[in-house]
Structure formats: C-alpha cells, structure tokens
Amino acid sequence: MQPTRHPGSEPPGTRGRRRLSPTPRPGPAGREELETEEEARNGAAAPLAALLLLLLLLLGLLRRPDPADRPPPGRRLPAIYLRSSPSRFPRFPAEEYTSISNLSLPLKFDWRDKHVITQVRNQKTCGGCWAFSVVGAVESVCAIKGQPLEVLSVQQVIDCSYSNYGCNGGSPLNALYWLNKLQVKLVRDSEYPFQAQNGLCRYFSDSHSGSSIKGYSAYDFSGQEDKMAKALLALGPLIVVVDAMSWQDYLGGIIQHHCSSGESNHAVLVTGFDKTGSIPYWIVRNSWGTSWGIDGYVRVKMGGNICGIADSVSAVFV
C-alpha cells in the first residue's frame, strides 16, 4: 500500500536533509571546499546504502509468502486464499456460553453419524473456502433442527456477500454477518450452481423458499479444546480458520506438526472428534474434493491448538 501524502508535504528524499554548512562559503575556493566535503560524505555513505539495500532485498526474498497476499494458484492444486485480515467482529471467550460446560463429553462423536452432513465439495481454483464452510454449517444446523438436509448454494454466497471478495478470498464472519443482517435465504445448489468463479448476484423474491439463520457466535477456544468439543455437541458443526499451507500434501493420518496458530489462511468445518486412541483428533471436512485426504476429510490432533484450529471458531443458529 502506498504511503499517504498530505498536501504541502516535502517531496520524497528531501525531508530532513541537512546542509553541510549553515552558511555558504564565499568565493570559488569556498565552493570548491564545500563540493569536496560533500563528495567525501557521499562516498562514505554509498557503501552503507548499498549494504542496507542488500539486507532489505534478502529479507524480501527470505520472507515466507503469505497466501492472503496473492491470487489463487492457477495450477491444479487446491486454492488457499482466505484473506484473513483481522475482523471487526469480536471473538468471545469460551466462558461466555455457559451451557457448554454442562455437557458430558463422550470419547467419540461425529455429526456424519446423524446424517446431517452433506457430501464433500470441491472449490477447485476458487478461493471460496470461507463460503463453503459457512454454507456447510447452515446445511447441517438446519438438518439438526429437523429440516430436510439440502445442498445449498455456495455460489450465491460468493456472488452476493458484499463484504467479501468472492473467489479472491473472504471471511466466514463477514459472510455470517451478511446472512444474519439481511436475513438472506440460501437457495438450493441446483437453483444457483457453483461456477468456480465470481459472477453477478442473482436475486430471488421474498416468497422464494430458502434457508436463513437466526444468529451466529464466534469464540476463541485456544487452550480450551474440550469446551470446543462440547460446543460442537451443543451447537452443531463448527466453522474454523486454520493454517493449511502444509495440507496440500496430506494423504492420511493425524496432523500434529508443520502448521502454526496465528497464520490462518483456510476455512473448514469441524464435524466431530475421536479420543479413543493414543492421539485424540478433530474430524474436519475440507472443500478440496473427495480424492483429497480421507475421502475429503482430515484429522487434526486435539490439544495444543494445532494449525490454529481453536483460535477462531464460529457457530450458526437457525
């Protein structure tokens, strides 16, 4: 981003420049002495400037690229592009939802066993993970509340959520705010199918059938993943943002390393957990198709906030 220039500000390179002498020396000899002194100063400063430039270039080359700074990759790999800048919507500590603590926690639970999870989808090269995770949560919570399990339109969210960037990235919280504030009805995917690119928003009449939400909440469960598991039981599948840079090579097993918290770049849906083995893990639905991972799912170790999975957790109410 270019620095802001204010009217009347000094041109670049002139601000703070000091003269070598408070008054010019009279006569040609004085000017000659001044020029000699300035040349000496410039000659001494040149190596320092070159060294500083070299250090800046090295830092720029060695800096780990941020996926939120570039468009989705054109190659045939899953697009990771969340544009995860700090949200203006606050996250609340786990204690805010007191009824979560009253639940007893089983060793294993998966909402797929309740038949309230739709099939894994493929976002292709569209950076719409934020929309896939939100729509997946709405589909499941509607089914948990007794409505028919339907595949809802992700493309509607990509095209119409005005506070996001479509296939160029977005925020799950921005999408939830949009759904809740405008009481948007999500139509079926068959009525507004996924195109893997941005399009013009299609509007439907108020009488058109669709699924809407009554509210949402966002929490920070870092250091409190048992409470996060209880929230999963009480509220339904949870939307989370994670560091998924290493996930593109995932073939199976439980992710325990090679990702960090505070580096969120991908949004996914947590559908369950399993604590029966030696390594407890979250069951996470991705949006990279069924050929990726374990039929489109990934297992992430519970505890330790692996990949930042507990940093920003959202739930939907219908």
Q: What is the pLDDT of residues 2-25, one digit of tens each?
A: 343 333 333 344 343 333 333 344
Name 270's bridge partners: 238, 284
183 CB contacts (<8 Å, ≥6 apart)?
Answer: 212
Token digits for 28? 């040609």
Read off the pLDDT of residues 245-301 as tens digits, 9 standing for 90 and up. Answer: 999 899 999 999 988 777 789 999 999 999 999 999 999 999 999 999 999 999 999
**Whole-number Å distance between alpha carbons of 318 and 309:** 24
Identify the band that residue 102 occupies on the pLDDT scale cut at 50, 70 and 90: confident
**Whole-number Å distance between alpha carbons of 233 and 105:** 8
**Whole-number Å distance between alpha carbons of 260 and 283:** 18
Q: What is the rounded radius of gyration, in angstroms, for the C-alpha atoms of the chain?
A: 27
Q: For residue 313, is it left (φ>0), alpha (ψ between -120 and 50) or beta? A: beta
**Whole-number Å distance between alpha carbons of 223 and 270:** 17
Return the CATH number of the domain spanning residue range 106-317. Answer: 3.90.70.10
Token digits for 311? 């940093």
The stretch 47-62 carries a mean pLDDT of: 52
Residues in the chain: 318
> What integer pLDDT is reported at residue 78 of this predicted model?
47
Q: pTM of this prediction?
A: 0.73
Annotated catalytic residues are 129, 266, 286
